[in-house]
Structure formats: structure tokens, C-alpha cells
A and B are shown apart, each in its own frame.
Chain A
Amino acid sequence: MCRCRMRPDRVADAPVHNRPALMSKLEIHQLSVHYAATGGGSVHALSDIDLSLDPGDFVVALGASGCGKTTLLSCIAGFMQYSSGQILLDGEVVTGPGAERGVVFQKHALMPWLDVVANVEFGLRMRGVDRATRRATALDKLRLVGLEKFAHSPIYQISGGMQQRVGLARALASDPEVMLMDEPLGALDALTREQIQELILELWWETRKMFFFITHSVEEALFLATELIVMTPSPGRIAHRYQLEFGRRFIECRDARAVKSDSEFIRLREEILGVIQQSAHDELDAA
């Protein structure tokens, strides 16, 4: 039984061979989004968002529906244009979707006409990687998510949890610098959800990529994040930031229950729930 306390000397030894050769960085400066509402007018979806990610950062955005979490992710992914501000990846302005930013969706968004491994290698195929190389990469990523035995199963015959694992493997196959995840566990049952949370932490620790993750669940956010941003709606903005280390503790001791029942974890959970509820009340009062 481990004590589940941080030991800084151990935490520092991230797998060196997996470190990106070029230190990448994602920077978001003063990002605002106004989009045209149906029936005239505009919605102020995001207001002056500042955020910066280095390799190994796990940023989790938490907040009620309509707080702009998904808008923020869509902007980073390049699915959506922004009104003002800037998103820079390695100093270059993000102007559209690209393979250096992998996305995992809430609905799995896999291609049901392809089997599991063909889904994972889809991006490599689109970019003209030869058959043998892309198959090897895809199988390697499937091993990472524990699905190598299901490589040739049809997508529609595997469970929701397994579909999300395929989604993770698919995003990893392109070896992106940033992993963007839009509530990937929202539709899963509680048990599967916890298993995949652990898997995501392991993948994060092994790859040392930048992770940006959206969730509704306070517990999930606390467990995964190195930086937790609590967002509030109209306009969508970052209300609170927390620097956390529960994810690293899990990597240390591999005991999610111990991490989640830690008194510090519970205290923060209650505090953040309070913050979110307060902002929901303010919202109602304002309306």
C-alpha cells in the first residue's frame, strides 16, 4: 500500500525517450468569440481567454453547459474561427484543423465502414503513409489502449468504452503535439469511465503531450488535471484556476481510489462544486 504522497524526485523522471525533440508550446492570447445568433444579434461565447500549455500539461476545462468549453476546444482544433485574440502553436497561428492537434470526440465519430485498425490508421492513410508503416503504427497505438485483440472487429460490434479507446488510439496515431478531448467519457457508464480516466492518465504520462480535456464532472477534472480551469457562461470566461497534482499521484501509486478519497481531493471537490453552483445562482439572479 503506497502512501500516495508526492515524491518530487520520482515525478521528475518522465520517460526521456518520449520527449518531443522540439519543445512545443500552445499559447492562447485574449481569445474572444462572438458568433451570429439565429434571428440576428450575436452570442458572446468566449471572452478574453488566456491559456498556455507546455508538453506534459494536462489542462481540464470544467463548467456548466454554455460556458464556452466546447467553443474553446473548437477554436484550438481549428474547427471554428475566432473574433479576436490569437492561438499559437509553436509560435504559428492556428488557422484551421491540422494533424498536430488530435481530437477525441464525445460521440466517438469513428467510421463504421472501417474496422478498428483501419480507423486508427485513417489519418496516416490520408497523409500518404505507406501501408506497412501505418499498419504497424496503428497496431502499436491499439496496444497502448489495450485493444490489439480487437484490431479487425467492426466498430459497431464493440462497446462504447472500446469505441472511445479506438478514438484515443486514432488521435495518437498521428503523433500530435496536442490532444484535444471534448467530453470523451460523457456517454460512458461510471465503471468504464473510471477505467478510461486511468488509461488517459497513463497515455498522458507516457507521451508527455499537451492534453486539453473538457468535462462536466468535478471529480474527473480534479483527478486528471495539472491545471483545472473553471469556466462560467455569458460570456464564457475562466473564473478560477487550480494547479493540481492528483494525476501525478495516480501515476505514482496506481490507486485511483486512494487518490480520490484523499481528504485534499474531497476538500477541493466540495470547493469547486460550490464555485460552480454559486456561478449558476448568479446567472439565475441576473436573468
Chain B
Amino acid sequence: MSTTRHAGHGEDAGDRVAPVAVAARARAKGERTVTGYSIPGQGSSTIISIVTVILLLALWWLATHLGWIRDLFLPTPERIVKAFGDAMRGDIQGGKPLQDHLWASLYRVFAAFLLACITAIPAGIAMGVSRIARGILDPPIEFYRPLPPLAYLPLIVIWFGIDERAKVVLIYLACFAPLAMASRAGVRGVMIEQINAAYSMGASKWQVIWHVIVPAAMPEIFTGMRISIGFGWTTLVAAEMVAATEGLGQMVLNASNFLRTDVVMMGIVVIGVVAYAFDLLMRYVERLVVPWKGRG
């Protein structure tokens, strides 16, 4: 043997056979492709979901156009679309266009969410890495976390007034707890080997926290952020139904006072679409920031 120095550069190269090419060759020879036995419920459900949605919309259209349900209880789909157009032009009760309501709501939820990110993530990490921080922060968070935000809204209003501040504080509290809990759980998820490896390469305790524990907790923190912004949005819409002059929640509530079912339903759709957009956005950022999630 002459030299086997640094052998095995491509030790796993054999695994990388293009599956498409193999399938094409198999088809050319007239071979049947087979699948293995599957777990119950396995496989894609997209087509079934699309068909379901189309059927529901068709049923809605039929029920309203054939007069099965009174217009007051369920307006036709076209009325919802029209209500959307009206709302865009501000042609609804209160006279404010939909955009104003939307921006008011978005501003509140993002202000509160940002505030929560700046405070809850460090707090959660501190709880994960420090006995003292955990001892101090655990009781207040565990006490208020299970409370429904609307239960302490009156107190928030007494303390902060009925303006923007009260709403932002309420959303902030709703966002804070899940995010802090997730950050704390993320710290628990670090492998002890990673920490030991860093120490054995000469890292200090603070370097281990900053360069190992924080990045290792990022996937959990992102899950927490997704949950947290969802909580924030639900709470926001509820808060706007109590005391507000603008915002999507207020718009819906106001419309319901005038029995404008079409505007109510349009508002619900907008609230739902925005919530879904949040989730898509967070998932996109997650893929960008923690691409190793689930593959570490």
C-alpha cells in the first residue's frame, strides 16, 4: 500500500444517487414503483382540504341565494366582498377606512411584541441559567400566566388609563409569559456535551452562555415567538372590543351594534388572514435564522 493518507474524503458519496433518474429508468423498463406499508393517516391531505373549502363556500352561496338563511344571520359571499370594498373607502360606521383600523391594531401588537422580545427572552434565559433569577421570576410569572388577560384588563385600565398605553401593556403581558417560558425551556435543551466542549476549548462561563446556550436555545425561542404573537393578536382584538376608537376589534364590535353582519364577517376574515400572515412571517424568519432546527 503506498498511501492511504487522509483517506475517505467522500465516504458517503455513494448515498447520493439522484432518485429522479432511478425512477425514470425504472419506468422505462416498465417496472411498477411500490410503496411501503404506511402509518394510518400518512400522506398528503392538501387536495381533500381544498375540496372541503370549495364545498363549504358552495354551500354558503347556495344557502344564502336560495333563502335558506336570513340575510341578517348570514349575508351572501358577495356582500362580504362588497363590505370589504366599502370598508377600504371608509364607507362604514365610524367613517374610518379599514387601513386605519388595521394599522392601529398592527401597531399595538408589534409594539407590545417587540417589547416582549427585548424583555422576555433575556428573562427566560436568565431563568434557565441562574438559580437566583429563576427563584425571583418564577412566582410572578407562574401566577399571572394562567390568568385570562381580560380578567386583569380592568386593573390595567385603572393603572394605565384607556388610551394606547393600556392596550400595549395588556398585549405585552400576554406575549411575555409564553416567550419567557419558551426561552427558559430552550436553555434546558442545550446538550451538556456542547457546553463541556466549549469549556474544554477555553471558553468562560459568560462565553458559554452567549456563544453556546443562547444560539442553542434559538429554535425554542422562535417557537415561543410564534406562540407569543398569536397570544398577542387574540388578546389585542379582545381588548379593542372593550375600550377603543379604532382597531379591527373595535370595527367588528361597532358593526355588530348596527347589525351589519357583512362587516362583522369581513372583519373576522381580515383578523384571521392577518393572524395567518404573522405565522407565515415567523416561519419564514425562523427558516432564515435557525435553519438547523430539527436537524442538529
A: which residues have CB within 8 A of B? 2, 77-79, 96-99, 101-103, 105-107, 109-113, 122-123, 126-127, 144-147, 149, 154-156, 159, 161-162, 170, 174, 180, 191-192, 195-196, 198-199, 202, 253-255
Binds A, one of B121-129, B130-138, B176-184, B198-206: B198-206
Bound-state CA distance A220–B5 (Å) is: 19
Query: Which residues from chain A contact B9 at a C-beta distance below 8 Å?
Result: 146-147, 149
The interface residues of chain B lying within 8 Å CB-to-CB of A105 are 193, 196-197
Assess whether B292 is in contact with A155, with CB atoms less than 8 Å apart: yes
The answer to whether B196 and A122 touch across the interface, beta carbons within 8 angstroms, is no
- For the complex of A and B, 6 pairs with smallest distance between CB atoms: A123-B201, A109-B193, A99-B202, A112-B292, A146-B6, A97-B199
Say yes or no: B202 contacts A123, CB within 8 Å.
Answer: yes
Contacts of A255 in B (CB 8 A): 1
Q: How far is the CA of A78 from the CA of B202 in the complex (A)?
A: 12
Given contacts A195-B7, A195-B8, is CB(A109)–CB(B196) below 8 Å?
yes
Stretch at the interface among B69-77, B109-117, B207-215, B269-277: B207-215
Residue numbers in A under 8 Å from B44 (CB-CB) = none
Shortest CB-to-CB span from B237 to chain A, Å, is 36
On whether the beta carbons of A98 and B215 are closer than 8 Å, the reply is no
Give the residue of B193, B207, B218 whose beta carbon is less than 8 angstroms from that of A113.
B218
Task: Say whether chain B's binding surface is mostly helix, strand, loop, or mixed.
Answer: loop
Q: Say if the beta carbon of B12 comes within 8 Å of chain A.
A: yes
B292/A122 in contact, CB under 8 A: no
Instruction: Decide if B12 touches A161 in the complex (CB within 8 Å).
Output: yes
Contact B202 A198 (CB under 8 A): no
Say whether B12 contacts A112, CB under 8 Å: no
State A206–B191 Cα separation when bound (angstroms): 32
Residues of B within 8 A of A196 (CB): 8
B191 adjacent to A107 (CB under 8 Å): yes
Query: Within the assembled complex, what's the spacing in Å between the Cα atoms of A145 and B12?
Result: 15
Cα–Cα, bound, A96→B216 (Å): 23
17 further interface pairs, Cβ-Cβ under 8 Å (given A78-B199, A109-B193): A79-B199, A98-B200, A99-B200, A101-B200, A102-B201, A103-B200, A109-B191, A112-B295, A113-B218, A113-B290, A123-B203, A146-B6, A155-B292, A156-B292, A170-B201, A174-B202, A195-B8
**Of all chain B residues, which has the CB nearest A100?**
B202
Q: How far is the CB of B6 from chain A (nearest CB, A)?
A: 4
Question: What are the residues of chain B within 8 A of A162 when measuring CB–CB?
Answer: 11-12
Q: How far is the CA of A105 from the CA of B198 in the complex (A)?
A: 12
Q: Are A103 and B6 in contact (CB under 8 A)?
A: no
- Measured between alpha carbons, how far is A102 from B199 in the docked complex, in Å? 10
The answer for the CA separation of A40 and B9 in the assembled complex, in Å, is: 50
Q: Kindly state whether residue B296 has any CB partner on chain A within 8 Å.
A: yes
B99 at the interface (CB under 8 A from A): no
- Cα of A2 to Cα of B1 in the assembled complex, Å: 8
B119 contacts A by Cβ under 8 Å:
no
Q: Does B45 sit within 8 A of A, measured CB to CB? A: no
User: What's the minimum C-beta distance from B195 to chain A, rounded to whole angstroms?
Assistant: 9
Residues of B within 8 A of A103 (CB): 196-197, 200
